[in-house]
Chain A
Amino acid sequence: MSFIELRQVEFCYPRQSSPAVTDINLKLEKKAITAVVGPNGSGKTTLTRLIIGILPPDKGEIYLTRSPLARYTLAEVGARIGYIFQNPDLQLFCPSVAEEIAFGLSRAGQGPQWIKEKVDFFLEYFELDGYRNSFPMHLSQGEKQRLAIAAVLAHEPEYLILDEPTIGLDAFRKKQLVEYLHKVAGLGRGMLLVSHDMAFVNKLAERLISMENGRIQSDSERRGRLLNEG
């Protein structure tokens, strides 16, 4: 059973003459790591926004665990699928870095001590401890990216969609992110990566989808993906 399925999906932005994505037929498994690559404007980000439910498809259907995505609210989808925007500014809204990670964790039904431990863990892991009480908008682009990733991962969603997660990250932090995503994958969580960074994709993806002009050009399994074991 596919976790996410798209059938004949098409979407066109308002006042655009040609669709951003068209004829998309795709099945994404819950525990697999899939990468979507392609040139600028090929429809990768649009595809992720359709899957998460921010954009409704003009044609076709999208299913989440065999139920039409349209039946879910954005919050219900967000509780199951963690989405990391290409621009981290779009998903940071709390007055401090610590609150950004803690936001929504109280709804897990756990106590303050659990929340504090979780926040402390992610602050330390993503080296944001020194910015605990800082206003997120004052962070550098790379720091905001790390914060956005930490804030989404803290909720332990079943599936992750990461849109260009390595933008603004230096080599060390990219390695750190790869390691963390390996751990997340090891816990049985799948993910969809959109990235231009082929080195990053090669270290993680088991399946590679390439897009161009809004269509899927190729979809292949990657046997024996390269891993940086160092």
Chain B
Amino acid sequence: MKVDPRSKMLLVICISGLALIYNNPLQLALLLAVSLALLGAFRFDIGMIGGYLRPLVSLLLILFLIQCLFTKGGQVWLTIGQLELVSSAGLIAGASVVLRILVVVNSAMLLTTCSSRDFVLGLIQWKVPYEIAFMVSIALRFLPLFRDEMQNVITAVQLRGVELKKVAWGEKISMYRTLIFPVVYRTMLKAQQLSIVMEARGFRAYPRRTYLRRLDLYWADYVIMSLALTVTVILLVGQIL
């Protein structure tokens, strides 16, 4: 069963929207389970999720710790002398932040199960201007490029005989701070070259574009979209009331 990219986009919007509204870790955990189930249903390789999330682990840990330490309330779990360090409210806030980010990232992965061409076509058939739709597709393309550039730099550093795991933290931070500059510069250079190539190939040369293909919605798409919207509205109303 092939699902239209517009149905997937609506699912992403609904799940991400609910993730932003929910504050309860249990609700967010359920939302995470739903997003994982949807990824499985759309034949996304669940094993790859770890690869996508691994770079975020340290960030998630830091956010969790910050929330734990600076959100007060409820039962106190850890004190140092008179200083209350960790409370139940802090743990709940920390868990909520982490789960929210995981839900948003996982639901965004749904968009990788369709080609960027179909994604752009879907947006255009939703009356989004072509330039905006193309910008979104390019942004999605550049995220893995940025990751690849970083990986290339790390490989190059290691091939110069530098064992990154054995470098002291202070020196490592200083090294990464230096390395981020060529990574950003090279990515921006690629973006600049892309814009030149696009113009050279007639991007926006004419006011009207024609398309080789057209996306059609089938009964499965209508069911998915109706279900997603209905459930989201019910949950939102329930949350408000």
Q: Is the CB of B161 within 8 A of A155?
A: yes
A103-B160 contact, Cβ under 8 Å, with A90-B152, A92-B182? yes
Q: Is the CB of A75 within 8 A of B161?
A: yes
Chain B CB within 8 A of A56 CB: no
Q: Which of A77, A93, A107, A137 contacts B156 (CB 8 A)?
A: A93
A89-B186 contact, Cβ under 8 Å, with A95-B178, A95-B181? yes
Q: CB-CB < 8 A to A91: which residues of B?
A: 156, 159
Q: Which of B161, B178, B186, B189 contacts A79 (CB 8 A)?
A: B161
Q: How far is the CB of A190 from chain B (nearest CB, A)?
A: 18
Chain B CB within 8 A of A227 CB: no
1/0 per residue B169-187: CB within 8 Å of A?
0000000001101110110
Q: CB-CB < 8 A to A52: which residues of B?
A: 159
Q: Which residue of B lies closest to A154 (CB)?
A: B160
Q: Which of A85, A89, A107 contacts B161 (CB 8 A)?
A: A107
Q: Is the CB of A137 within 8 A of B160?
A: no
Q: Which of B157, B163, B178, B182 contacts A73 (CB 8 A)?
A: B163
A137-B182 contact, Cβ under 8 Å, with A75-B164, A90-B152? yes
Q: Which of B162, B179, B183, B186 contacts A104 (CB 8 A)?
A: B162
Chain A CB within 8 A of B230 CB: no
Chain A CB within 8 A of B153 CB: yes
Chain A: number of interface residues, binned into ranges: 20 to 34
Chain A CB within 8 A of B112 CB: no
1/0 per residue A21-60: CB within 8 Å of B?
0000000000000000000000000000000101000000
Instruction: Give the most central of B152, B153, B161: most A CB within 10 Å.
Output: B161
Bound CA span A152–B160, Å: 7
1/0 per residue A127-155: CB within 8 Å of B?
00000000011000000000000011001
Chain A CB within 8 A of B158 CB: yes
A78-B178 contact, Cβ under 8 Å, with A54-B155, A90-B152? no
Q: CB-CB < 8 A to B155: which residues of A?
A: 54, 74, 90
Bound CA span A95–B164, Å: 19
Q: Which residue of B lies closest to A91 (CB)?
A: B156
A74-B182 contact, Cβ under 8 Å, with A90-B152, A93-B153, A137-B189? no
A sample of 8 more A-B contacts (CB under 8 A), given A73-B163, A92-B182, is A73-B165, A74-B158, A75-B159, A75-B162, A75-B163, A83-B159, A90-B152, A155-B161
The 3 closest A-B pairs by CB, nearest first: A79-B161, A78-B159, A75-B163
